[in-house]
Every structure is written in C-alpha cells, then in structure tokens.
Amino acid sequence: MATSPLSLTSKPPSITRLRHQRPPLTTVRASAATVTTTTGMPDHHHPSLEITGGGADRFLPAFNTLHLPYKPFPIIGWNRHLETIFAAFFRTVPEVKYRRECLRTQDNGTIALDWVCGDHRNLPSDSPILILLPGLTGGSQDSYVKHMLLKAKSKGWRVVVFNSRGCANSPVTTPQLQTASFTADTCHVVDHVSSRYPKASIYAVGWSLGGNILVNYLGREHHRCSLSGAVSLCNPFNLVIADENLRKGFNNIYDRALRGGLSRTFEKHTSLFEEMHDEYNVQAGLNPRTVREYDEAITRVSLGYKSVDEYYSNSCSCHVVQHVRIPLLCIQAANDPIAPIEATPYSDIKDNPNCMLIVTPQGGHLGWVAGDDAPFGAPWTDNVVIEFLEHLQKNASKPESS
C-alpha cells in the first residue's frame, strides 16, 4: 500500500473549504440516446454513470463503452474500502522494461523519466506520446500505471512515465520532494518531450495527486501548454477537503500507509534537508503521525508556505479548472474514500467547453474493479481513457510550439 498514489495541491487568496455541489440541471446522464430536457439542454441518460461538463456533447462520440452499464465485480466492488485495498495489493503487475532518462531542472533538481525499452527504435517519430503522472509516492512500478501503459502501447503510442522527485527510486539532488502544486517540473517534462519529438502530438494522464498536478499545470500554464489532451483520474481537486476527509474513521488506514511511504522516501535523503537553515523539522519528517504532519514539517517549507493550510489551499486544482484550454476528461468514483466527490468542481467543469466529467457509482480509490478484466486485470477506466485519447488523436493537428 506504500506505493498507492495519493496526496494532496493555483493561488486563491484564502483557505477554502467550500463543498462543490452537484447542480441538478448541469448533470448529464449519458447513453446512446439523446433527448431534450425542459430546460432545452441536451441530456444523455445512462443507467449507472453520471456524465457532465461543457464538452460532454463534443466528446461523447469518442466512446464505444459508455453505453454499457457499470457493473462492479461482485463483493469486491460493493465496498469502497475493500475495492481500494484489493486493487492496491492484488491487481496484477505486468512486466514492463524501462529505459530511464534523468533531467536536470533549473533549480538543480532531478526528474526521472521512464521510457519503454525499444520504443525509440520501433515507433515512428510522429507516433502520439502519452505522459503518465502517478500519484503520491507512486511511480513507474505501480500496477495501474503499467496497465495503462500497455493499453496505450497496444495502440501504437509511445509512453513515458514522469516520476516526481524522489519517487520510483529516482535521484534527489535538492531538498525538495514530490509536491502537489509545483508545476515547473511538469513544464520541463512536457517541453523536453515536445522538443525531442517535435512531430508528435502529446497527451497526459494523471492519477490522484498526479491528476491534481496535471490539472494545476493545464490551468496555470494554459498560455504555454503544448499538450493536445489530458485525463485526470481520482483527483482530490480540493486538498483542504481531502485533508479533512483523510483523517476520518477508517480512512486513517490510508493516511498511515501514505505517511509511511513519504517518511521512507524522506529518510533516504535526510542529509539534504539537515544541511539547510530553513524551518525543516527533520524528526517530524522521519516519524510523522499523519500526512498532514509530514507536509507541515517538510513539504510546505520546501515551497515557502507559512503553514500546511496555506500549502493545501494554494495547491487545489479545483481553482484552475476554469482556465483549462485543451480537452480534459475527469473520471471520479462517487464512493472514493481518498478523493471525496464533494471536492469535485462540478460547476467549473460544466461551464468549461473543454471539460468532461464521468462519475462512476463505485470504484473506490484507483480501484474500478469492473469490466471484462476484473478482478485482477486492468481497471475499468483504461478502455474509457484510451477511447478518449484515440478520438482526440484522430482529430488532432500538431499543437503550436510554445
């Protein structure tokens, strides 16, 4: 469970705890048939999925699987905690051989990119590229990352995993590890991949904290974003709400697992932080009682925030959804114990013609144990994601260079 993604991070003026309500007239239920509601807005009915967003009508033709009902695998898929834990421990981990490339950033930090071995020889230079952003403490070794990688590879895509600082045994050269709001590394990775393959269209998929990082990049850097499309899954969106939710009841088990992953990564690189004269609390970073305590001791200091609450508030991707200018598909589970559905910015997604949201009734956090590959194979979302990306690629032209 230590490698299970999660964490929690635009710049609002103050801490926000606003719960995003689901406005009934903005919600779109989807299926093959389209009818007209009394408001005159198109409504797509589906027996189990909730679909909304300003781009829903535009993107629905992409999907061949959404006309089918969402059927969670018996027993496992009926309980959100069981599904989350089962997927983390018992989902198969496909064999993938990587070739690692390390990038040096302007602040002397190091980013590790894991490319699929052989793709640089076997694929044309204009093959579409998919950048994968795992969740908190996650990396190229995680099962959900590898399943998505193989799905895209089977369609002729070139895939690269963007391991955040300190993740997947990547080298650490500065006193900064993975954070939820630092978009400079994402800019660096996208620019590097784009310059390396100038004829290719580039897309990205992010899970959990990786989804939050990705949406923050799309919103904050919309003026220079060279991606052609993106997908966010299990995004916590509002980290203030997610932080409160993570410390409730049974959710403490996830908090314990995540804090363990964070402290183990930090322990490998403690010397970098001990030499600094900042406010780092090294002992609290080595033995945090909660993810929040770790972020207070280490993460917020590395970014210059005065408190962990300021860090969380200024790291919420829900604040920048309105600025996204490329096609964005968001997939959430209504019963996600880690990325609570009430943190999802329904109104901003509905008002943005580039965004679409799919909410499944079950799924847990990074579970989605449903579909033909359940219970041990790829999550239900993989087919939906690749249909969306393939649709965009068929209709895409090479984005202008930033």
CATH, residue 333: 3.40.50.1820
Token readout for 332 is: 């959430």
252-294 pLDDT, tens digit per residue, is 999 999 999 999 999 999 999 988 867 899 999 999 999 999 9
Catalytic residue (one of 46, 323, 365, 391): 365
Angle in degrees, CA 383, 387, 390, rounded to 5: 135
Active-site entry in 170, 208, 302, 313: 208
Considering the domain boundaries, does residue 250 fall inside one? Answer: no
**pTM score, two decimals?**
0.88
Residue 328 in any domain: the answer is yes
Residue 9 lies in a domain: no
Q: Name the amino acid, one letter, at 222.
A: H
- 185, 255, 309, 336: which one is catalytic? 336
Poorest-pLDDT segment among 12-26, 138-152, 198-212: 12-26
pLDDT band (50, 70, 90) for residue 45: low
Reported as a single tens digit per residue, the pLDDT across 349-397 is 999 999 999 999 999 999 999 999 999 999 999 999 999 999 999 997 5
- Asked if the structure places residue 91 within a domain, the reply is yes
User: Catalytic residue at 365?
Assistant: yes
| φ, ψ of residue 229 in degrees (nearest 5) | 175, 165
**Residue 265 counted as domain residue:** no
Place of tokens 């604040």: 319
Q: Is residue 367 part of a domain?
A: yes
The crossing angle, in degrees rounded to 10, of helices 381-394 and 143-153 is 40
Place 22 in a pLDDT band, splitting at 50, 70 and 90: low
Range of the domain at 191: 50-242+317-395
Number of domains composing the chain: 1
Judge whether 203 and 389 are in contact, CB under 8 Å: yes
336 carries an active-site annotation = yes
Residue 255 lies in a domain: no
- Tell me what pLDDT residue 277 has: 67
What CA–CA distance (Å, rounded) separates 217 from 320? 9
The answer to the question of residue 44 being in a domain is no
Token look-up 């901003």 returns 348
